[in-house]
Amino acid sequence: MPRITVTVDEVTYEEEVEPRLLLVHLLRDRLGRTGTPIGCDTGNCGACTVMLDGVSVKSCSVLAVQADGGEVVTIEGLARGPEWHPMQKAFHAEHALQCGYCTPGMIMAAIDLVRNDPDPSEEAVRRGLEGNLCRCTGYTTIVRAVRRGAREMAGREAGTP
């Protein structure tokens, strides 16, 4: 079995994996990182979105061996101690979640979106998150949250409160 080295939320793991093992199964079943949920088995829903080397990926559509040597950030690795990431705060502040099942993927995809477009328009958010499905909210509050999170991320990077 291939042996891989992968860093997940700043912890490095060495694992022997079947070549067919999906990254999401590595995270959930092998590493116990259950913050990343599985929503579908068709690559449609985006609930399992994580960052791989700084780019958002659907971890159900990436093989664990493809993450060899890579750095993965999951929803569990965003907060700095008790201090949430601005996008986490924004989702809470704007009521952008109900059942919360899509939320980890939404937040990870949103952070990647903002990386490319620091001040996204409503339409840019809707287009940018089209790979992440939410059944509860109707998206309106999610769009608001992503735009708020983007502003706060920009503020954080500029060093303003």
Partner 1 sequence: MTGRTTENDRPGTPRGSHETGRGHEPQGPGPANPADLPRNHEPDEDHEADEGREVGRARRRKEDARLVTGRTTWTDNIRLPGMLYVAFLRAPMAHARITRVDTSAARSRPGVVAAFHGQDFAGEQGSLPCAWPVTEDVVIPDHRLRVIAPDVGGGFGSKLQVTAEEVLALLLTRRLGRPVKWTESRSEGNLTVHHGRDQLQRIRLAAERDGRLRAVQVELLADMGAYLMLVTPGVPLLGAFMYGGIYKMNAYDFTCTGVFTTKMPTDACRGAGRPEAAFAIERAMDELAHELGLDPVEVRRRNWTTHEDFPYTTVCGLTYDSGNYEAATDQALELFGYDALRAEQARRRAERDPVQLGIGVSTFTEMCGIAPSRVLGSLNYGAGGWEHASVRVLPTGKVEVVTGTSPHGQGHETAWSQIAADALGVPFEDVSVLHGDTAVSHKGMDTYGSRSLVVGGVAVLSACEKLTSSPA
* Out of 8, 91, 113, 128, the residue judged to bind partner 1 by CB under 8 A: 91
Residue 59 touching partner 1 (CB under 8 A): no
Minimum distance, C-beta of residue 144 to partner 1, in the bound complex (Å): 14
Minimum distance, C-beta of residue 2 to partner 1, in the bound complex (Å): 18
| Rounded-to-integer distance, Cα 57 and Cα 142, Å | 19
Minimum distance, C-beta of residue 35 to partner 1, in the bound complex (Å): 2
* Out of 42, 123, 158, 159, the residue judged to bind partner 1 by CB under 8 A: 42
Residue 98 touching partner 1 (CB under 8 A): yes
| Rounded-to-integer distance, Cα 127 and Cα 139, Å | 12
* Out of 49, 56, 59, 74, the residue judged to bind partner 1 by CB under 8 A: 74
Listed as own residue / partner, the contacts of 127-130 with beta carbons closer than 8 Å and 24 or more positions apart are 129/46
